[in-house]
Structure 1
Amino acid sequence: MIDHRAVVMNLGFRQAVSDDSEWLYDTYQRTMKGFVTSAQGWDEDLQRAGFAKSLRQGSCQIVMQEGNRCGLVHWDVEPDLVWLRMLCIVPEMQNKSIGSEALAKARSLSSHLQKPLYLHVFVCNRVAYEWYRRIGFVEIENDGKVSTLVLAPSFGAARMS
C-alpha cells in the first residue's frame, strides 16, 4: 500500500500575487469548466470577470510542491463563518492527497477562529461532493445544481448556538 502522505510532505503554501493571475484562471478553467458548463453554461467573459472579482476577496494561497504550483485554495473570513471559495488542484496532480492538505489549511483556520467552514459544490461534481460529505461536511441546502455544505469547527457544534 502506498502512503500518499509521503508524496505531499514537501507541500508549501504561498500567497497568490498578481503575476499568478493567468495561472490561477487557467487552473480554475481546467478543473471547473466541465462542471460549470454542466450546471449553468460557460460564458468566458463572465467567468473571467467573476473569477477576478472573487480573487479580490479573502485570501488565495497557491499550493506548491517542489517549487511547482499544483493548486490553489481560496477562502474568505466573514464575521460568523469561513467560506471556502475555491479548492482547485491541477488535473495531473489530483488524487495525491494535495486537496486534503489544502483543505486542512482552511479547516485549521476555521477551527482556530471557532467558526464553521462553508462551501458550495456543484452537484454534478460527484467526486468532490462525496469527498466533502465523507470527511464530515453536512449539506444544508441544495438547489439541484449547487449544494451548500458546512463543517462545524473542531470545538464542537454544541458551542455554536
Structure 2
Amino acid sequence: MKEFQLMDGKTSDKEWLYNLYQNAMKPCIKATWGWNEEFQSNGFDNNLKPTDWKIIKNGLERIGGFVLKESNDHLWLEMIIIKPEYQQKGVGRRVLTYIQSIAKEKSLPLRLSIIKANLVRPFYLKLGFCQYDEDDSFYKMQWHS
C-alpha cells in the first residue's frame, strides 16, 4: 500500500471502531488494569465518539483510524490504531508523518501517551518523538517540528 485515504468517522462507524479499539487495546489495557467491558464500552462512547475519528482507508477497505485533538498550545493524538494485517507495512509511519505535517503547519507540538504495556514506544522514538514524562501506566511523548 503506497497511499491511504482519510474519511471523517460517522455514527454508523461506531461498531467497527469499537471492534478495532478492542482488538488493538484489550491486551494492553488488560495487562495494566484488567478489562472491564462495561467500563471500556462506556469510556469509548464518551471519549472517542465516531465523529471524532478519521478513518484510514486503503481503497474501499477501512484499515485503521485516529483521533487528533487541538488545544491552544499543542495537538494531542488521542488514539491511532492500524489493523494488525496492515501493521509493519509503513502505514502507521505514513499516517504519523501526515499528522506531524499538520502539527508543523500549525507550529504546534504533537503529544500523545502510550500505555506502558503497549510495545510501540520505539516506533515513536524513531519518528522523532521524545519522552517528556511518565507515570505508573503511561509514557508521555512529544514531537516538535
Q: 1:29 pairs with 10, 22, 27, which one?
A: 22
Rounded to whole Å, the distance in 1 between the matches of 2:74 and 2:46 is 20
Q: 1:46 pairs with 34, 39, 43, which one?
A: 39
CA RMSD of aligned residues (A): 1.5
SS of 1:112's partner is helix
SS of 1:8's partner is coil
Rounded to whole Å, the distance in 2 between the matches of 1:140 and 1:20 is 34
Runs of 4+ in 1 over 3 A off after TM superposition: 56-59
Q: 1:79 pairs with 72, 79, 93, which one?
A: 72
Query: 1:104 deviation in Å?
Result: 2.1
Residue of structure 1 equivalent to 2:2: 8
Alignment pair present for 1:63 and 2:89:
no
Q: Which moved more, 1:76-85 or 1:57-66?
A: 57-66
* One-letter code aligned to 1:139: Q
Q: Which runs of 5+ in 1 are unaligned?
A: 1-6, 155-161
Answer whether contact 1:58 1:77 (CA < 8 A) is retained.
no
> For the pair shown, which has the larger CA radius of gyration, 1 or 2?
1
SS of 2:105's partner is helix
Query: 1:140 deviation in Å?
Result: 1.1
Rounded to whole Å, the distance in 2 between the matches of 1:148 and 1:8 is 30
Rounded to whole Å, the distance in 2 between the matches of 1:47 and 1:103 is 25
Residue of structure 1 equivalent to 2:112: 119
Query: 1:139 deviation in Å?
Result: 0.7
Residue of structure 1 equivalent to 2:10: 17
Query: 1:93 deviation in Å?
Result: 1.6
Query: How many residues are aligned here?
Result: 145
* One-letter code aligned to 2:25: M
Rounded to whole Å, the distance in 2 between the matches of 1:21 and 1:66 is 20
Q: Which runs of 5+ in 2 are unaligned?
A: none
CA deviation map 1:78-106 (0-9, x unaligned): 11110000010111221111111221232
Q: Percent identity?
A: 28
